[in-house]
Structure 1
Amino acid sequence: MMSLWYIIVAFVLFASILITAKNARKTKKNLPPGPPRLPIIGNLHQLGSRPQRSMFKLSEQYGPLMSLKFGNVSAVVASTPETVKEVLKTFDLECCSRPYMTYAARITYGLKDLAFSFYTKYWKEVRKMTVVELYTAKRVKSFQRIRQEEVASFVQFMKQSASLEKAVNLNRKFVKLTGSVICKVGFGITLKGSKLEDAYEEVVQKTLEVVGSFAAADHFPVIGKLIDRVTGLHSKCEKVFKLLDSFFEQSIEHHLENPNIKDDIIELLLKMERGETGLGEFQLTRDHTKGILVNILVAGIDTSGQTLTWVMTHLIKNPRVLKKVQAEVREVIKNKDDIGEEDIERLEYLKMVIKETFRINPIVPLLIPREASKDLKIGGYDIPKKTWIYVNVWAIHRNPNVWKDPEAFIPERFMDCQIDYKGLDFELLPFGSGRRVCPGVVMSMALVHLTLINLLYRFDWKLPEGMEVEDVDLEESYGLVCPKKVPLELIPVLTQWS
């Protein structure tokens, strides 16, 4: 009996030594510095309504690579070009996967999309398909007629508003314009008359709010879902999902009833469902098709629409810049009624205006989090496996060590400067970088360029009566994409080129 007791004591001592050693190894990890944490919630209380701004302020105190705790989740935030380059380039492969995000998974039919799915063979095949089939220069050019038709219709509306001297809610009109283009390009249908016509603006915005939220279900495994039901996040997600699903069903049914529809994105995906064309070793189901369509609909509409809104906001806020860019556009176009996308190549100052807009109002200020697939060392610090990694693009773009006078809108800073927004320069990352860079940049920017050239060439712009330049608000709302909080209302003025 005594010998059994000795064995038990020895086992307990041995287990204690192992636990102590394990804890000692944990404490030896050289984690990035970070602010103190509260019990249970960690640093969630410090995020506020605009996390990108809160994280930037914290990084000024705790450094360019900062540790945070969100409930049960350990996270790091990269806030400078140097640390972000390590995440998105040096360790791109090791940081390429996504953490599981409850409501993103719901919206994307179980992570069957491109933006939120894990880094797997399936993701690589979908990525290859989108690059090769959907977003090539040839494919983008093939949709030029649709863009020109929709922009021409948009210009006609502006002419009517100008003749009435009526202010236009540009936030809403730009989202409607991009929605119309995406619906024709991606779904082969006209937005007007579809099930999403009256609700698409709200659906797109609410979808981005849902997937951009710090969901309790992701950070508190036991009680998180209950918290989300109390806050309303769960019901908001379900409402948005049902609206999206109804729209996708309508679009797919439209294709099935009209076999002559060719060359749009749904038709390509339906061919994959039928096995007529392949996706590697994967057989697409209807949920796969819908998951991929979520990215095309939501990202395609909101990124282009919000870019246009922010460009026009900064131009009306900065009359000197507006006058200069209009002079360039009108000098280059010169009484040319048929404006083409090729004209952007000669508009150097307009390119600078767009870059400066991306800098000061990045479309996605806080990139979708990544997850470390193994233990890493970044910037000399230990990043344990499963750590969530946030890239704070907003912080990089407002960093005074990177940009002189970062709060000012100065397009001329890009004169004789090779920095671009396509993901190779880590000082300017509106579309991300690495394997997860947004594949639809060329498609999105083709519409942005064509719309801006027409608006700046054909119209002058003024504020509603009683408003001054100083009254134009620059505050953004928070979501995965950050729209202008107060809608931009301007009055178009007919010119001799209208």
Structure 2
Amino acid sequence: MASLLPWLSWLLVSLLSIYLLDLLAHSRRRLPPGPFPLPFIGSLHLLGDQPHRSLARLAKTYGPLMSLRLGTVTSVVITSPNFAREFLQKHDAVFASRSAPDAVGEHAKNGIPWLPNAPRWRSLRRIMATEMFAPHRLDALQHLRREKVQELVDHVARLAREGTAVDIGRVAFTTSLNLLSRTIFSRDLTSLDDHGKSKEFQEVVLEIMEAAGCPNVSDFFPVLAPADLQGWRRRLARLFARLHRLFDMLVDERIRDRNAGEPRKGDFLDVLLDVGAPENDNAGQLDRDTLRSLFMDLFGAGSDTSSSTVEWAMAELLQNPLSMARACNELSQVVGTGRNIQESEIGELPYLQAVVKETFRLHPPAPLLLPRRAEMTIEIAGYTIPKGARVFVNVWAIGRDKDIWPDPEKFAPERFLGSAVDFKGGHFELIPFGAGRRICPGMPLANRMVHLVLASLLNQFEWNLPVEIEKKGIDMSEKFGLTLGKAVPLCALATQVQSSQPIDNRTLATTAFKVSR
């Protein structure tokens, strides 16, 4: 035992020397300010299970541009609109690539969110912008989404007649999947009634979202990534394979129909098959692996984010009866109580749009956005951002900054009425979909889906909380993951309202007065 003591002492001295040298190198690299890292783990111990909140607190000490060493990875955290604009607009080309989670594995080679800023990514992005999410394409498929929203209304109406509470997040998630599956494939892949294979599809998508959002040691210690110590890459590979088999079946079936002279459906799949046809210049960009990844990205990014936004909006409105009354009154005036809303009417509903903006401000679906990666070493504001650094934009903290938003913790849609601030990437105080060239390409579809589902729930039903929840209040705690969901699902009682024509301003004022009382 005595012979081991010198070796142990030497090992401790060596480790301490390495740590001190690392701290010295850290200070000389002129990184943005941040907490001193501990040996091996860096600042991982400071993140906790709510990293967006922990990083917001640290920013109050170290400033809106902060650096941390998370494991062995240098990370930079932005907590102000000005620095967000600096990184995502002024120096967008330097930070145009993403840092892909190790768990997504092979999917990162074809997935739009993870491809590097290169010709292949730019070509796919152009196809999505001009062929899939262009306004005329979305307009042409709105009848499919209208059918799915009607199914949502019918389902909630059935629960209302039974006196059963509605799990808002679950029905919104299922409807989001329905809306996407109709838009992409013109067919249902899931059901609000949880039947058989449709339930399996929902569960696989949910498992993928949950697994992709779990902390992974491979992301903080890349040298350990080949071992996949927590098994997340293997688990996600199995889940991806299950969806890929389904997507292959749908694509093969459509190709057979087209070869047999069946009428076109005009959905996203038809568009992609047209673009990828051998005679088209883009044929090489849309092979089968790319199609699988595109479908996976659409279902993954478009379902959980949209449904969590609807759930948070309903939770806030149920806690703020005057805001709820004002949103419902606007719908009564423009659409007519109990009537089906058309996508073309969303632009005539400024208060509903303000409710959605306020929900994005307080509850952004991706509170830290997807991390960018510095493609070269660059100096910003006198600090050095090294090549390979991961860059996080804490949009959750920006949305609750008292220097930007008066009374930032209060749900107040009125702050957006008459304001030019929007969430489409031009106003950096509100960028839930990101900004710059890596802004979410599916934002136009998500924008329609969120407004359509939320407006339908508000215009077709009156909402109340179950007695036990009303006594305790709605639990607004968060569950951090790939998206920022509610930790406790929101359940509310619905009562279907009778259909009526739009009301005039005098009736509107009277109704608002009665509700406010």
Structure 2 length normalisation: TM-score? 0.86
Structure 1 window deviating more from structure 2 (39-48 vs 417-426): it is: 39-48
For 2:359, the equivalent position in structure 1 comes to: 357
Matched, 1:67 2:67: yes
For 1:133, the equivalent position in structure 2 comes to: 131
Pair 26,351 (structure 1): closer, same or farther in 2 beyond 3 Å: closer
Letter paired with 2:53: R
Matched, 1:297 2:299: yes
Pair 497,100 (structure 1): closer, same or farther in 2 beyond 3 Å: closer
For 1:236, the equivalent position in structure 2 comes to: 235
CA displacement at 1:72 relative to structure 2 = 1.9
Residue by residue over 1:402-424, the C-alpha shift from the partner in whole angstroms, topping out at 9 and shown as x without a partner, is 11221111111112221111110
Structure 1 residue corresponding to 2:117, chosen from 96, 119, 122: 119
Pair 28,429 (structure 1): closer, same or farther in 2 beyond 3 Å: same
SS at match of 1:432: coil
Structure 1 window deviating more from structure 2 (318-327 vs 245-254): it is: 245-254
Aligned 8 A contact 2:95 2:372 in 1: yes
Matches of 2:487 and 2:242 in 1, distance apart? 24
Letter paired with 1:233: W
1:286-435 maps to which residues of 2 (within 5 A)?
Answer: 286-334=288-336, 337-435=339-437
Matched, 1:155 2:157: no
Residue by residue over 1:219-252, the C-alpha shift from the partner in whole angstroms, topping out at 9 and shown as x without a partner, is 32333454x43x3434432332232223222322
For 1:205, the equivalent position in structure 2 comes to: 206
CA displacement at 1:274 relative to structure 2 = 4.1
Residue by residue over 1:66-119, the C-alpha shift from the partner in whole angstroms, topping out at 9 and shown as x without a partner, is 11112221110011101111011010111101234322233x2x4212111111
Residue by residue over 1:363-421, the C-alpha shift from the partner in whole angstroms, topping out at 9 and shown as x without a partner, is 11111111111111222211111111111111111111111221111111112221111
CA displacement at 1:461 relative to structure 2 = 0.4
Aligned 8 A contact 1:135 1:442 in 2: yes
Matches of 2:456 and 2:159 in 1, distance apart? 15
SS at match of 2:223: coil
Aligned 8 A contact 1:105 1:116 in 2: no
Letter paired with 1:238: A
Structure 1 window deviating more from structure 2 (284-293 vs 72-81): it is: 284-293
Aligned 8 A contact 1:306 1:484 in 2: yes
Letter paired with 1:241: F
Structure 1 window deviating more from structure 2 (204-213 vs 291-300): it is: 204-213
CA displacement at 1:271 relative to structure 2 = 4.0
Aligned 8 A contact 2:190 2:201 in 1: no
SS at match of 2:493: strand
Aligned 8 A contact 1:213 1:479 in 2: yes
Matched, 1:186 2:184: yes
For 1:218, the equivalent position in structure 2 comes to: 219
Residue by residue over 1:414-458, the C-alpha shift from the partner in whole angstroms, topping out at 9 and shown as x without a partner, is 122211111100000111100011111121121222222222222
Aligned 8 A contact 1:78 1:390 in 2: yes
For 2:451, the equivalent position in structure 1 comes to: 449
CA displacement at 1:215 relative to structure 2 = 2.3
Runs of 5+ unmatched residues, structure 1: 1-22
SS at match of 1:408: coil
Aligned 8 A contact 2:331 2:337 in 1: no
Letter paired with 1:53: R
Aligned 8 A contact 1:146 1:184 in 2: yes
1:17-166 maps to which residues of 2 (within 5 A)?
Answer: 28-106=28-106, 108=107, 110-166=108-164
Pair 341,217 (structure 1): closer, same or farther in 2 beyond 3 Å: same
Letter paired with 2:140: S
Matches of 2:125 and 2:204 in 1, distance apart? 25
Aligned 8 A contact 2:172 2:453 in 1: no
CA displacement at 1:493 relative to structure 2 = 0.7
SS at match of 1:95: coil
Among all aligned residue pairs of Structure 1 and Structure 2, give the percentage whose two residues are the same amino acid: 34
For 2:512, the equivalent position in structure 1 comes to: none
For 2:272, the equivalent position in structure 1 comes to: 269
Matches of 1:276 and 1:173 in 2, distance apart? 42
CA displacement at 1:140 relative to structure 2 = 0.8
Aligned 8 A contact 2:369 2:394 in 1: yes
Q: How many residues align?
A: 471
Matches of 1:195 and 1:367 in 2, distance apart? 34
For 1:18, the equivalent position in structure 2 comes to: none
Residue by residue over 1:32-51, the C-alpha shift from the partner in whole angstroms, topping out at 9 and shown as x without a partner, is 01112111111112111121
SS at match of 1:389: strand
Aligned 8 A contact 1:317 1:469 in 2: no
Runs of 5+ unmatched residues, structure 2: 1-22, 501-517
SS at match of 2:388: coil
CA RMSD of superposed structures (Å): 2.3
Matches of 2:236 and 2:337 in 1, distance apart? 49
Matches of 1:244 and 1:183 in 2, distance apart? 13
CA displacement at 1:170 relative to structure 2 = 1.3
Aligned 8 A contact 2:339 2:460 in 1: no
For 2:15, the equivalent position in structure 1 comes to: none
Pair 457,343 (structure 1): closer, same or farther in 2 beyond 3 Å: same
Aligned 8 A contact 1:457 1:497 in 2: no
Aligned 8 A contact 2:374 2:388 in 1: yes
For 1:494, the equivalent position in structure 2 comes to: 496
Letter paired with 1:158: V
Letter paired with 2:282: L
Matches of 2:117 and 2:471 in 1, distance apart? 47
Matches of 2:163 and 2:139 in 1, distance apart? 35
Residue by residue over 1:125-145, the C-alpha shift from the partner in whole angstroms, topping out at 9 and shown as x without a partner, is 000010010000001101110
Matches of 1:192 and 1:374 in 2, distance apart? 44
Matched, 1:175 2:173: yes
Pair 295,53 (structure 1): closer, same or farther in 2 beyond 3 Å: same
Structure 1 window deviating more from structure 2 (213-222 vs 442-451): it is: 213-222
Matches of 1:208 and 1:38 in 2, distance apart? 31
CA displacement at 1:175 relative to structure 2 = 0.8
CA displacement at 1:469 relative to structure 2 = 6.6
Aligned 8 A contact 1:172 1:201 in 2: no
Matches of 1:409 and 1:143 in 2, distance apart? 34
Aligned 8 A contact 1:73 1:388 in 2: yes
CA displacement at 1:286 relative to structure 2 = 1.4
Matches of 1:236 and 1:75 in 2, distance apart? 27
Aligned 8 A contact 1:459 1:492 in 2: yes
SS at match of 2:199: coil
Aligned 8 A contact 2:316 2:411 in 1: yes
